[in-house]
Amino acid sequence: MVDFKQEIAELLVQHIDGMSAGEIAALVEIPADKSRGDYAFPCFKLAKIMRKAPPLIAAELAEKIRGSELFEKVEPVNAFLNMFINKEHFISACLKEVLSEKERFGSSDLGEGQTVIVEYSSPNIAKPFHIGHIRTTVIGNALYKIFDFLGYKVVRINHLGDYGTQFGKMIAAYRHWGSREEVEADPIKTLLAYYVRFHDEAKNDPALDEEARQAFAALERGDAPETELWQWIRDESLKEFRRVYDMLDIDFDSWAGESFYSDKMPAVIEELKDKGLLTESRGAQIVDLEPYGLTPAIITKSDGTSIYLTRDLAAAIYRKKTYDFSKCIYVVASQQDLHFKQLFKVLELMGFEWAKDMVHVNFGMVSLPEGTLSTRAGRVVFLEDVLNTAVEKTREIVLEKGVNAELIDETAKTVGIGAVVFNELSASRIKDYTFKWEEVLNFDGETGPYVQYTHARCASVLRNAAEKYGDSISFEGADLSVLTSPAAYELVKEIYEFPAIVKEAALKYEPSVITRHIIDVAQGYNKFYHDEHILVDGAAERKAKLLLTAASKETIRNGLALLGIKAPERM
C-alpha cells in the first residue's frame, strides 16, 4: 500500500539537511483534528539543525513541496507543516491496490523465512470440550491465519492433555464399570461419568486408588493392555473433538500432546541436574525460583512421577530442535500465567537464549448468564451444543427475515457459527466476558451477522449492476472524484488502514484489532450505501461507486477470513 508517511518523508528529505528519510517519517504525525490536515510535520527538531525559528522552517518547506501531486493543500501553521492529501490521488492508489491484490490484500512477506508455532485449543482427553475452550481455539486459529498472511511459516499444534495419573484412574474405572458400546455411543459424557464415579467410590475404597496407581505405572512402562485402552480412549475422544473442529473449520499440523513427551522427560531432568538447577524439597525435585519472585517449579513429585511443567519443558526443547521457531506462542487462559512464567524462567536458567521467543498469549474467562445456557446449575456446557444452538437459532431468525429457501441450511451454518466466533474475537482477549445470545445473534449490532450481511450486501450491489448495466469492475471510465464525498472518503480511509491493522493484530497477538476494524469498514459501507445512491444512471459515477463497493467487499472478506469466518455472497 502507498505509505504516505514514507512518500512525504522522501519529498521532505530533499529539502532538509542532516536528517534521513526514516527519521523524518518517524516525525510525521496524523493530527486528531482534521482541520490540521491528514498529516502534519512538526519543525521543532529542525530548528537546531537549520538554526532558524520553526515557523520560518515550516513556511519555507511549504513553499517547496506545494507543487507535488500528493497534496491538495499545504499549510504552514506556527511550527507545523500541515498537509492535506490530494483525495483523488489517494483514492486511486488505494482502490487500485485492493482490487489488484484481492484475497491477498493486507498480506505481506514480513515473516519470510521465519517459523512461528501457535499452540492452541489443547483440550484434555476424556474430559468435556466445553464452552471455556472456545477462546483458545478461535484466538489460536485467528493468530495462525494472521501470521500465515504476514508470510510466516506457521506450525499449528494441539498440545492434547492426554497424559497423567488421571488416566490410571480412568483405566481402573473402566475396568470396573465400563462398557465399550456405552463409550463408543457417547465417549466423553460416558468416560466422565466413570471418572466421577471413581472419585466417589474411592473415598470409601482406598484399594481403587492403588489400582489406579498401578494402571498408570503400567501405562508409563508401556504395557500393552493399558496402552491399548488408553489409545482407544484417546481415539474416541478425538473423534468427538474433531466434530467441533470441523464445524469451526479448524485443523492442526501436529496433535503431539503431553504423552508424546513422556519418553523425553528423563533427558530434561538429567540436563537440569547437570546444570545444577535441581534441589530437593520434601522429596520433590524443584527449581528454586524465589530470586525471581516466583514459587518453585516442581519437576518431579515425591513419588517420582513427572508433572505438567516437566512435559512442557520437554515440549519446548523438542519444538526448538524440530522447528527452529522464531516464536513459540501458547494460547492459554490467564489462570495459567504463573505456569508459563515458571516455564519460561526455567528455560532461561537452562541457558537457552531462545527462551525470550516464548510468548504466552493469555485471555480472560467466559461466563454464562444464569439459566440460559446451563440447563442445570453447574452442568458443563459443551461447545458442540453451543454451536448447534447457534445454527438453530440463526435458522429461526433468517426464516423470519424471509431468506431464500435453498440457502437456509448454508446460511444458518455460516452465520450461526460465524456469530459465535466473531463474538469471541470482539473484545480484547484479556477481558472476562459473558456469553449472551441476544448479543451474539443481533443482526444490527457490532456482530458477525451484521458484518456478514454487509458483505452480502456489497455482493448484491455488484450483481445488480452487472444485471442491470452489464457493469464489470474497472477503472476505465470511472470518475473517482465522486468518492471525495464525506461518506465515501471516510470509507476509503478505513480500507487503506487494513494492512497496518493486520500487522498491529500480529504485534499485539490480538485478533480483536481486526474484528473492530472490519466493523468500522462495514459501518462505513452502510453509511455510504444509505447516504448515496450507488446504482445511478451516470456511468462514470456508478463505476466509481462500484469500485468502492468491490474494495469494501474484499476488505471485509479478508478480515473475516483472518478471523476464521466465512463471508457469504448471499444472505
Residues in 133-192 at the binding interface with ligand ARG, rule: CB under 6 A: 159, 161
Q: Say how many residues touch ligand ARG, by CB under 6 A.
A: 9
108 Cβ contact partners less than 8 Å away, ≥ 6 residues apart: 149, 150, 151, 499, 502, 503
Residues 40, 58, 332, 518: which binds ligand ARG (CB under 6 A)? 332
122 part of the interface to ligand ARG, by CB under 6 A:
yes
By Cβ distance, which residue is nearest to ligand ARG? Answer: 161
Residue closer to ligand ARG (CB basis): 119 or 554:
119
Contact 448, 415 (CB under 8 A): yes
Largest CA distance in the chain: 91
The residues that bridge with 284 in the sheet, in sequence order, are 281
124 part of the interface to ligand ARG, by CB under 6 A:
yes
| C-alpha–C-alpha distance, residues 236 and 176, integer Å | 19
524 part of the interface to ligand ARG, by CB under 6 A:
no
Residue closer to ligand ARG (CB basis): 278 or 361:
361
> Closest Cα partner for 422 from 281, 522, 273?
522
Residue closer to ligand ARG (CB basis): 93 or 315:
315
> Closest Cα partner for 208 from 171, 249, 239, 158?
171
> Strands 115-119, 153-157: parallel, antiparallel or unpaired by DSSP?
parallel
Residue closer to ligand ARG (CB basis): 174 or 340:
340
Residues 129, 241, 330, 435: which binds ligand ARG (CB under 6 A)? 330
Contact 154, 118 (CB under 8 A): yes
Quote the least distance from Cβ 341 to ligand ARG, whole Å: 13
The residues that bridge with 82 in the sheet, in sequence order, are 40, 75
State the binding string over 282-321 for ligand ARG (x if CB under 6 A, else -).
------------------------------x---------
Quote the least distance from Cβ 312 to ligand ARG, whole Å: 5
Residue closer to ligand ARG (CB basis): 156 or 159:
159
Q: Which of 133, 145, 320, 545 is catalytic?
A: 133
Quote the least distance from Cβ 316 to ligand ARG, whole Å: 8
List the grid coordinates of 467.
Answer: 444485471
List the grid coordinates of 210.
Answer: 492403588
Q: Which of 52, 96, 127, 493 is catalytic?
A: 127
Degrees to nearest 5, angle at CA 105 with 103 and 106: 125
Active-site residue, 15 included? no
> Closest Cα partner for 142 from 563, 565, 566?
563
Quote the least distance from Cβ 161 to ligand ARG, whole Å: 3
Could you write out the DSSP letters of every residue in 173-212? Answer: HHHHH--HHHHHHSHHHHHHHHHHHHHHHHTT-HHHHHHH
Quote the least distance from Cβ 517 to ligand ARG, whole Å: 29
| C-alpha–C-alpha distance, residues 562 and 37, integer Å | 32
Quote the least distance from Cβ 274 to ligand ARG, whole Å: 24
Residues in 92-121 at the binding interface with ligand ARG, rule: CB under 6 A: 119
528 part of the interface to ligand ARG, by CB under 6 A:
no
Quote the least distance from Cβ 324 to ligand ARG, whole Å: 19
Side chain identity, residue 56: L
Residue closer to ligand ARG (CB basis): 59 or 192:
192
Backbone angles phi, psi at 303, to 5 degrees: -85, 10
Per the rule left: phi > 0, alpha: psi between -120 and 50, beta: everything else, 297 is beta
Per the rule left: phi > 0, alpha: psi between -120 and 50, beta: everything else, 26 is alpha
List the grid coordinates of 48.
Answer: 537546531
Quote the least distance from Cβ 429 to ligand ARG, whole Å: 15
Active-site residue, 127 included? yes
Helix and strand numbers (H, E) in the chain are 21, 12
Residue closer to ligand ARG (CB basis): 122 or 310:
122
Active-site residue, 176 included? no
Q: Which of 130, 327, 455, 543 is catalytic?
A: 130
For ligand ARG, which stretch binds (CB under 6 A), given 122-130, 182-190, 273-281, 441-449? 122-130
Residue closer to ligand ARG (CB basis): 122 or 558:
122
- Residues with catalytic function: 127, 130, 133
Which residues would be at the binding site for ligand ARG (CB under 6 A)?
A: 119, 122-124, 159, 161, 312, 330, 332
